[in-house]
Amino acid sequence: MTAPPNILYFTRTDPDVQEKGSEQRTHRIRAALASIGDVYTLIPVFDPSRERVDAERRITWVCSERRGSWRWWKRNIVQRAFPGIQPVATFPLRRPREWEGIRFDAVVSRYITLTGYYQTWRWGPAFVDLDDTPWEILSTAAGTWPAKVLARAKAAVMRRWADGVFRQVRHVWVVRPDQTEQVRACPSVSVLPNLARPPEREPDPCGPQERFFLTVGVLDHPPNYRGIDAFLDRHWPAIAAAYPGWEYRIGGKNCPPALARKWSRIPGVRLLGWVDDLDDLYRRAHAVFAPIDSGSGSCIKVLEALIQARACLGPAFALRAVPSEDCTPANGLFPCETTADYLAALDRLRDDTSRHAIQTAARRYVLAHWSEEVFREEIRTTILSAIAPPGAGA
């Protein structure tokens, strides 16, 4: 009987923490890897006091560089000039003593930055979960035209750097089909879409709803707070006038203090902070706004709204995870670029019967197209095919 493969998993966070959408993906990937073989998780840290070993879960936190060291300063100087680029580590990441003698059949890393910095292909056949790409974040950022030109120049440099990393790895997963064009330097690419965390309680598409609209997201993430701030400036005054007495509630922690003060002064806007029971909040919301127009990856809050049986309104940029031909009210999605678009969409959601039908369709659509089983099978098939010995059967 063939022994299960040993898989090394590079991540930034504990794979059992699932507060953010990125952490939920980290957890799902590790669960999929555990269905293939024995998973060893390595989390680089920059403070020796944070080093520790969780032998039961095979997780090790390893200090790669000390804060304040010349290597740490070198790394940060480069990152200040080119956010997202990780220069190659100036010394190899040491293998934890607990893992001496283990040969890794596959090395999977979250994000290209970990892959390039630690040259994970030196540990074994390397696989990369691309997810967010720093060059997309730069190229979509708002600002004055000189800032945009500089951002695009930096993005081009990062693309060149990324191509060098892609040539060293065995396979890259992207979250959207259009991202495959960004990974042409790697011979093997496939789509591993993001999944929304399923609610703990079955949503009721036809239950009573309250007079508020909702956005949920981590508010120290620039695309989130910038998108919400622009929405409040451009669209909320007209929506508030059309829906007197209604609220726009924003759920998420770590909102920049200046924006928290600004938003709290806008009539009808309520900043909720951290929300303990998201299922209940979605259940009571009338509709969900996803006012995101910059960033990378996929806007998980869109899929989260659909799986919670709520209609989602937002610009085409926010809906990129969904094929454009599917971005219709028949699937619970309302592309909105202008204030008139938002008002027209909300008008369709005024009638209870129409809204309930749209909400039912939204949940049915996301469950049919975003499956945990398909997610795991994509990882399993890709890795087992790539590490199979020559001549081995499928």
> Degrees (nearest 5) of the Cα angle 277, 332, 182?
90
**Distance set, CA 344 to CA 48, 286, 319 (Å):** 56, 15, 18
Q: What is the pLDDT of residue 153?
A: 82
Q: Give the integer Cα–Cα distance in Å for 130 and 172.
A: 7
- Give the best-scoring range by mean pLDDT among 67-76, 79-88, 242-251, 316-325: 242-251
Q: What is the pLDDT of residue 389?
A: 67
Q: Look up the pTM and report it.
A: 0.82
Domain ranges of the chain: 6-193+371-387, 212-369
Return the number of other C-beta atoms located less than 10 Å from residue 81's C-beta.
10
Span 353-369, pLDDT tens digits: 999 999 999 999 999 99
Has domain 6-193+371-387 been given CATH number 3.40.50.2000?
A: yes
- Statement: residue 316 has pLDDT above 50: yes
Q: What is the pLDDT of residue 131?
A: 85
Place of tokens 């790669």: 64
- Same CATH topology for 6-193+371-387 and 212-369: the answer is yes
Q: Give the integer Cα–Cα distance in Å for 341 and 334.
A: 8
Q: What is the pLDDT of residue 90?
A: 44
Place of tokens 């440099």: 157
As a whole number, the mean pLDDT across the chain is 88
Q: Where are the alpha helices (DSSP H) in the chain?
A: 21-34, 70-81, 112-118, 134-140, 145-166, 222-234, 236-242, 257-264, 278-284, 300-307, 339-348, 352-369, 372-387
Please give the backbone phi and psi of residue 53, each rounded to the nearest 5 degrees, phi first.
Answer: -130, 130
| Residue closest to 83 by CA, chosen among 13, 139, 44, 127 | 139
| Residue closest to 232 by CA, chosen among 248, 210, 216 | 248
Return the number of other C-beta atoms located less than 10 Å from residue 364's C-beta.
15
Span 174-191, pLDDT tens digits: 998 888 888 989 989 999
CATH top class, domain 212-369: alpha beta
282-291: average pLDDT: 97
> Degrees (nearest 5) of the Cα angle 301, 202, 208?
85
Q: What is the pLDDT of residue 71?
A: 54
